[in-house]
A and B are shown apart, each in its own frame.
Chain A
Amino acid sequence: MARKTTQTRKAVVTTIAWIIGFLIFFPILWTILMSFKSEGDAIKAPLAMLSTPWTLESYGEVQARSNYLRFFMNSVIISLGSTILALVIAIPAAWSMAFVPGKRTKDLLMWMLSTKMMPAVGVLVPMYLMFRDFGLLDTRTGLVVILTLINLPIVVWMLYTYFKEIPGEILEAARMDGASLRSEILYVLTPMAVPGIASTMLLNIILAWNEAFWTLQLTTSDAAPLTQFIASYSSPEGLFYAKLSAASTMAIAPILILGWFSQKQLVRGLTFGAVK
């Protein structure tokens, strides 16, 4: 009897959860479906639309009209570049805070978190003028620098929480055996730290890929990433549903796939290690 109620309960929960999950996912699903329709079919009523023929023509048109690949490459270069640069700066910092903590380490971490509190718009004007004066407007270099700086606190925090979990005794044992600082880092720490670094990297790529304040403000065409590419559809091209859908699908697909692999790390990284 008890067995049967749990099964019924499970069936009810499953149904509700699937319906809600489907509703939340629906806008994305609908966008993907619509991208495989012709422009004329895409504006038909929803049920009529589903029975129209499927086509790849929108993808071809988007690529031909706005050169999707160039924007895509900009997104890749900017998000990878800023992630690698942030890691290079953050790994030594997080390492030393985790293994040689001082009295001020906690304050320092809280201070780094507080730099994230500054609204971007508070420094928009000087950043814009500096970029203009240094010829960095609409360059990938400029965006890599900015995105490195805004994500640096998250990267340090996340690495710190991962490094914290590496037992200190192992380091002591290595030191006892006469390992130098260099070999300690190279042969003892690095292998244990790789998973944490990889997760941090993944999360940071996602954040940089979707960043839509500085990428919209500081680029126009040459260095414009996918956020800007989509913004160019705001009007009146946005009314061409099939093309908008194809462009959107191409812009979110890479990160949707990456994101699904990093659900666990996402929580940890975005909460600065406060929730694991």
Chain B
Amino acid sequence: MATAHSRTAARLMVSPAVILLFLWMIVPLGMTIYFSFLRYNLLQPGTSFAGFDNYYYFLTQAAFWDALWNTITLVVGVLIITVFGGIALALLLDQPMWGQGIVRVMVIAPFFVMPTVSALVWKNMFMNPVNGMFAHIAKALGLQPYDFLAHAPLASIILIVAWAWLPFSTLILLTALQSLDREQQEAAEMDGASWLSRFWYLTVPHLTRSITVVILIQTIFLLSVFAEILVTTNGGPGTASTNLPYLVYAQSLLSFDVGGGSAGGIAAVILANIVAFFLMRMIGKNLDA
């Protein structure tokens, strides 16, 4: 069908996108790798070759292991809440009810709130130990108000991020549920299959692909959570809520250590690639089916 002429034209039309993305991948990443081998501080003149020193110092500092652990906890914590919560919510919203459209709109809304707004609203108006909503509720119940961000900073950030991402998983799983074969469900019901076995043998297999997609896409975004940490805790207290992106930001743009920050950036890229490798295999299989 395609002529040689149109094939050449097609190649020409793809090339700007490919070239731009290729440059975007290669040039800055190459520079990061290059900087990571330099002794390079913005406050000191000149640079010199540092070998693997930057990597050594970055990877052996206690802050790195804290950050790595926090990054993983944040991703896994948010994924657990949003995947299970998303399945439950999607099943609920799939039932016949009055005013479904309005409920749907309310559930989806948090996704459109920019990260800096959601983080600040939660921090000040809900988690603030003096005037926050939770403090008021605690006082009304005769309890001591709890300073969420000081005593459980990472858990609080997980809550904030999960609130923002729950709509996403709900929406995707709901869309998938709505394409479920109703006749198959009814046939199973007539044959006497219980709700649980219908859920387990018909609904769950049908949702697997969408759950894979949810995990893949959320992981991409969750590995680089930044704004929520910047405006709530600044990574603290200590390194209690510092994740890798925040640590790299602190090292390169707050301490002006370009070499060390670059080494950290490469560590983040490697982590993302390990995760991506498994996820792409998973999703690649699922997408073919």
**Partner-B contacts on A (CB < 8 A):** 6, 10, 13-14, 16-18, 20-22, 24-25, 27-28, 30-31, 34, 43, 45-46, 89-90, 92-93, 95-97, 99-100, 102, 108, 110, 112-130, 149, 152-153, 156, 168, 172, 181, 206, 209-210, 212-213, 216-217, 226-228, 230-231, 233-234, 238-239, 241, 244-245, 248, 251-252, 255-256, 258-260, 263-264, 266-267, 270-272, 274-276
Contact = CB atoms under 8 A, between A and B. Distances in A.
Given A24-B106, A172-B1, A126 B32 contact: yes
Q: Is the interface of A mostly helix, strand, loop or mixed?
A: helix
B112 A152 contact: no
A202 B163 CA distance: 23
Contacts of B97: 10, 13-14, 17
A251 to B, nearest CB: 6
Q: Which of A6, A125, A239 has the most CB of B within 10 A?
A: A125
B168 interface: yes
Contact of A122 (B98, B121, B258, B266): B266
A274 B213 contact: yes
Contacts of B248: 121, 124-125
A95 B11 CA distance: 11
A217 B114 contact: no
B83 interface: no
A245 B121 CA distance: 8
Nearest to A238: B124
Contact of A234 (B102, B109, B120, B209): B120
Nearest to A149: B24
B187 interface: no
A122 to B, nearest CB: 4
9 contacts: A13-B96, A25-B109, A28-B110, A117-B273, A172-B1, A217-B249, A259-B111, A267-B172, A274-B210
B193 interface: no
A234 B231 contact: yes
Contacts of B167: 24
Contacts of B124: 238-239, 241, 244
Given A10-B98, A149-B20, A212-B227, 14 more contacts: A24-B167, A25-B106, A45-B140, A93-B18, A114-B276, A117-B273, A121-B264, A121-B265, A124-B253, A125-B261, A239-B128, A255-B112, A260-B105, A276-B179
B11 A96 contact: yes
A260 B108 contact: yes
A126 B107 contact: no
B272 A117 contact: yes
B287 interface: yes
Contacts of B232: 234
B214 to A, nearest CB: 8
A228 B116 CA distance: 8
A224 to B, nearest CB: 11
A227 B103 CA distance: 27
A114 B280 contact: yes
A112 B21 contact: yes
Given A24-B163, A127-B28, A216-B230, A255 B114 contact: yes
A117 B112 contact: no
Contacts of B87: none
A230 B114 contact: yes
Interface in B188-207: none
A217 B9 CA distance: 39
Contacts of A248: 117, 120-121
A97 B14 contact: yes
